[in-house]
Amino acid sequence: MKFLPKEILESQVEGRNLTGPSFGDNLPQKPSLVVFLRHLGCIFCRETVEDLRVFSSSMAAFPPILFVYPDSVRDGEEFFSRFWPEAKAISNPNASFYEQIQVQEGNLIELAGPEVWVSAVRALAKGNFYGVQGRHLLRMPGVFLVLKDRILWTHSYRHIGDEPDWSKIPGCTPLPTDEYDPGILPA
């Protein structure tokens, strides 16, 4: 079983709608999604936030969400006030949390390959657009289902536009999937 690094959990954080001063203080006592976004100008970042806003409001069993973004607190305030005012989000402008949890930078295929262009058309069709690009253009996204310090499930991105099927997040489906660790069941 994998765990969130202690350095992340104990780190002091700033952001939007946070419930405590450290990263760990912002994780509830039940399974929750920690979503590491690309820079806030990314079309796929916008698509992810919008899709998760819709899923979380329409699916009662959907886990609480904590976003992490590699931009300033001010940039996050502007972004989330527009796209999801109620969202909890942690600013990580130096991307140290990304490094600690091993959300790496992408290669050419992951950042601009053919699948990325097909995904961009999908995102555009949903009404999403590109914004001002941030400092971390090469950063990949990451999604983790966690229970406090335990990582129960993760989505391994094939490319920056590879969005998980949010309806199949473990705990939102009647039966756990093969990727879910059966040692810890949702509350």
CATH number for the domain that contains residue 147: 3.40.30.10
The string of DSSP letters for 141-164 reads PEEEEEETTEEEEEE--SSTT---
pLDDT value at residue 13 = 98
Residue 176's beta-bridge partner residues?
none
- Angle, CA 159 vertex, CA 61 and CA 131 arms, to 5°: 85
The letter for the amino acid at 112 is A
Number of domains in the chain: 1
Is residue 49, in this structure, part of any structural domain at all? yes
* Tokens found for residue 31: 């399974």
Is residue 110, in this structure, part of any structural domain at all? no
Do 120 and 126 meet the contact criterion of CB atoms below 8 Å apart? no
pLDDT tens digits, 91-109: 999 999 999 999 999 898 8
Is residue 9, in this structure, part of any structural domain at all? yes
The letter for the amino acid at 129 is F
Cβ-based burial of 49 (10 A; exposed 0-12, middle 13-18, buried ≥19): buried
pLDDT value at residue 174 = 40
Supply the range of the domain harboring residue 3.
1-103+135-171
Is residue 39, in this structure, part of any structural domain at all? yes
> Reduced to 3 states, what is the DSSP secondary structure of residue 45?
helix
Measured in whole angstroms, the distance separating CA 67 from the mean position of its chain's CA atoms is 5
d(CA 36, CA 38): 7
Is residue 111, in this structure, part of any structural domain at all? no
- Does the structure show a pLDDT above 60 at 180? no
Biggest alpha carbon distance in the chain? Answer: 43
pLDDT value at residue 186 = 55
Question: Where in 19-137 does DSSP place strands (E)?
Answer: 32-36, 65-69, 88-91
pLDDT tens digits, 106-156: 898 888 888 888 877 877 788 777 766 767 778 999 999 999 899 999 998
Is residue 26, in this structure, part of any structural domain at all? yes
**Nearest residue to 42 via CA among 139, 142, 156, 158:** 139
Is residue 37, in this structure, part of any structural domain at all? yes
* Tokens found for residue 46: 């916008």
Is residue 181, in this structure, part of any structural domain at all? no
- Does the structure show a pLDDT above 70 at 66? yes
Q: pTM (2 decimals)?
A: 0.86
